[in-house]
Amino acid sequence: MIRMMSIFLFACSESNFANLDEQEKGNGPKIEVNPDSINFGTVTADGTPVIQSFEVKNVGRSDLMVEDIQIAGDDAISFTLFEEFIPFLLPPGAGQNVQVMFFPQNSMDLVSEAFVSSTDEIDPTVSVSLYGFGAVPQLTVIPDPLDMGTTYVGCDTSNELILSNTGSDDLELYAIEHTGGVFEMASLPIFPITLAPGDFTTVGLTYTPLLNEMTEGTMTIVSNDPMGSGIYMAGQFGTGEYIDEHVQTWENPVDPPSDILFTVDLSCSMDDDAALLANNFQSFINELSDYSNDWQIMVNNNDNGCTNSGILTPTTSSYQSIFSSAVTDPYQEGSDTERLLTIASRAIEQTDPSECNAGFMRSNAMLHVIMVSDEPEQSYSAWSSLVNQIIAKKGDANNVRLSAIAGLYPYSSCAYPGTGYWDAVSYTGGVYLDICTNWSNPSNLELLAEASVISDSYPLDYPAAESTIEVFVNGQPQLGSWHYDSSTNSVIFDITPPEEGDFIMITYGEVAICD
């Protein structure tokens, strides 16, 4: 068997040697290219591409198959075959021209080679050197990519990109755009911008991270640089970092305390509504008892803000009749009856020991002011000033609610629009009932009772990155039932607020406060 294998190998070798001998004797195919180098000269970006050709010829004695032509080299993008290559057969003595087009994509001296592959067994690949000079503009962006570094969420950092013309002809910048919401470009000049060879301009960029993660952006520059059809995309990236992360918890009390102040417009047109309030007071107390039995109620209609009912509690004897008399008695002191925010602010201001409303405002209770009028609020001071006085006296905006039964704003069907009252209610998240409708029905009284005890606002101790906030009630995530109010740095429940005894947990990332 060894002998047979030796014979076989020898036979194969003899065959190969025979083919090579035929080539060496000039009996096989042989490739030749002419010229073996082409100089395309100088071409500008707005000029016409230059086309030149070289001949591929079979100078052998048998057929030559030209199998492939490839252009390669650092500057190959500037040289292309004029027509798509299709393999061709050349009989002995035959030749075929191959056209190459030069259109510079870069500037300065450009060099590549056209490699021709064939069935010539001695020289299966031959090359043609390609030369040209690109008199074109060339956009260079430094740095690319631009690293904006690490920045605290809530702060920003700035840097700039240098756009230079490293080519040999004028560079025209037509437009610059940016994608990536946390990156913002500085103001740009009027386009187009012309940069002579060697000139440059700068573009400022500000990075303001929103999350503790790396974010990428892309600046797109449109110019007459032939590379990339005039579109250059420069990258930027930066990393955001929270200054800290926090977990806050609240446990709503069972039977939460509530301090409720009623103040009523006692002008003649209000007789029926004052009587309706008096007649439905017990219904209101019944609704309130579903939430709390730790309530205090006070009626304040006097100009000086001192109570004309005393402080009513569940243990006060005949509290129904005392309340009814207080809200319907027209013979009360003063002329500020249509300035209910003024009366309310005076009442709250006089809750310190030894003052006329001492003992009414408890530090741990929700303060709920309910105003009833068919007129607009007519205080001499702005509604916002009076509301803020009440909040300041209470010391916690999240435990202050102002509600109103008044004419609908901005249009009312039977009363004047409740301008001022509407604003105060909206500002504090209270309840606004239209005095022209059946405002005393049980569902409306329940809204007033709920607003008296249940806080729908949970203030955060540190400035929060809104996108990081997660809310849980009794361990269950809350989705779509709340929003974040950046002006008060609070989570506010829009629907189904936590109830008495509920456990609330809020987690969030803290944003930095920067100069």
10 Å CB burial of residue 131 (0-12, 13-18, 19+) is middle
Cβ neighbours, 10 Å, residue 146: 21
CB under 8 Å to 443, separation ≥6 — which residues? none
- Largest Cα–Cα separation, the chain: 137
Nearest to residue 513, comparing CAs of 463, 460, 459, 461? Answer: 463
Q: Label each residue of 64-98 as H, E or C.
A: EEEEEEEEECCCHHHEEECCCCCCEEECCCCEEEE
Cα dist from 83 to 58, 76, 80, 467, whole Å: 21, 16, 9, 56
Cβ–Cβ under 8 Å, residues 298 and 360: yes
Tokens matching residue 290: 């579903």
Each residue's pLDDT, cut to its tens digit, for the chain (515 residues) gives 444 444 333 344 444 444 445 555 558 999 999 999 999 998 887 778 999 999 999 999 999 999 999 999 989 999 999 999 999 999 999 999 999 999 988 877 899 999 999 999 999 999 999 999 888 899 999 999 999 999 999 899 999 999 999 988 899 999 999 987 899 998 788 899 999 999 999 999 999 998 889 999 999 999 998 888 899 999 999 999 999 999 999 998 889 999 999 999 999 899 999 999 999 999 999 999 999 999 999 999 999 999 999 999 999 999 999 999 999 987 666 789 999 999 999 999 999 999 999 999 999 999 999 999 999 999 999 999 999 999 999 999 989 999 999 999 999 999 999 999 999 999 998 999 999 999 999 999 999 999 999 888 899 999 999 989 999 999 999 999 999 999 889 999 998 889 888 999 999 999 898 87
User: Which phi and psi (to 5°) does residue 268 adopt?
Assistant: -55, -35
Nearest to residue 78, comparing CAs of 131, 128, 23? Answer: 131
Cβ–Cβ under 8 Å, residues 95 and 124: no
What pTM value is reported for the model? 0.58
Query: Which residue segments constitute the domains of the chain, with CATH numbers given?
Result: 25-135 (2.60.40.10), 139-241 (2.60.40.10), 246-250+460-510 (no CATH), 253-455 (3.40.50.410)
Nearest to residue 114, comparing CAs of 143, 88, 137, 82? Answer: 82
How far is residue 201 CA from its own chain's centroid?
Answer: 30
Tokens matching residue 356: 């006329």
Cα dist from 375 to 147, 179, 264, 411, 478, whole Å: 61, 53, 11, 12, 40
The torsion region of residue 290 among left (phi > 0), alpha (psi -120 to 50) and beta comes to alpha
Reply yes or no: is the peptide bond before residue 145 cis, omega within 30 of 0: yes
Distance in angstroms (rounded) separating the CA atoms of residues 386 and 405: 18
